[in-house]
Amino acid sequence: MAMFPRSMFPRSTPARFPSLTSCLLLAAASLLVQAAPAQAAEQLVITYGPLSAGVAVADLQTLVETSQAPGALKFYLGLANLDPSLLRDVLMMNLAANQTFMAGMLDSDSGAELLSQISQVMHLPPASPSIAVLKTADPAERDPSEAENMAALKTALVKAAEDRQITLLEVLQHYPTEKVYLDAVKLLRFTSSLEAGNQAE
């Protein structure tokens, strides 16, 4: 997996990859039970192998704005014995970038490679075949292609840069589908490779 120099993304606050890994993976583990239906229209669906659970993006926004985890989010973070402030810090970590810079960078070869890597971690909803579809040889639905996942992520990143910075929460809020999926297994691999690259510098 290709690495990218940290100078490509100027940050207004230092990146803390160990916190990113531990916080999101602990949150994923805590959410890998059947969650109550989210009230908000948009959901972050965390998957770990065949398991999945969803949390409302609106609840994540509430955590950022008030430092309090509402409802089900508070319960599941409690199960993982995870301080909500750690997840809040991850959601607020930001890159200083405007839309022009972000669009141009993502159109470059290195930007396309980065999109490809991240879109394997954060991606469009997979196909949800019904029992009827499973009985046919020609399913009506298909999983999104890599190009479609990359395009969705690029849209979210460029829109998130409208305020001249990009946070994880903003990327989730601007993702162009009702649900966005986060693969915890691939997240672990990706952040581990980033940490290894940083230590090698």
Q: Letter for the amino acid at 165? A: Q
Q: Between these two residues, 101 and 26, which has the higher pLDDT value?
A: 101
Are 101 and 158 within 8 A, CB to CB? no
pLDDT band at 16 (very low <50, low <70, confident <90, very high): very low
Q: Give the confidence band of 41 by pLDDT, cuts at 50, 70, 90.
A: very low
Over residues 46-52, mean pLDDT: 80
Higher pLDDT, 130 or 53: 53
pLDDT bin (cut points 50, 70, 90) of residue 130 is very low
pLDDT in tens, 176-189: 999 999 888 888 78
Band (124; pLDDT cuts 50, 70, 90) = very high
- In the structure, what pLDDT confidence band is assigned to residue 82 with cuts at 50, 70 and 90? confident
DSSP-derived pairing of the beta strands 122-123 and 179-183: antiparallel
Phi, psi of 49 (to 5 degrees): 65, -130
- Residue 172 has a pLDDT of 92
Q: Residue 144's pLDDT is what? A: 92
What is the per-residue pLDDT for 200? 63
pLDDT score of 123 more than 50: yes
CA distances in angstroms from 116 to 41, 182, 192, listed in the order given: 27, 14, 17
- Provide the pLDDT for residue 32: 41
Sign for the CA dihedral angle at 110, 116, 120, 124 comes to: positive
* pLDDT score of 23 more than 70: no
The whole-number pLDDT of residue 48 equals 78
CB-based burial of residue 30 (10 Å sphere; 0-12 exposed, 13-18 middle, 19+ buried)? Answer: buried
Q: Is the pLDDT of residue 29 over 50?
A: no
Give the residue, 112 or 30, on which the prediction is more confident.
112
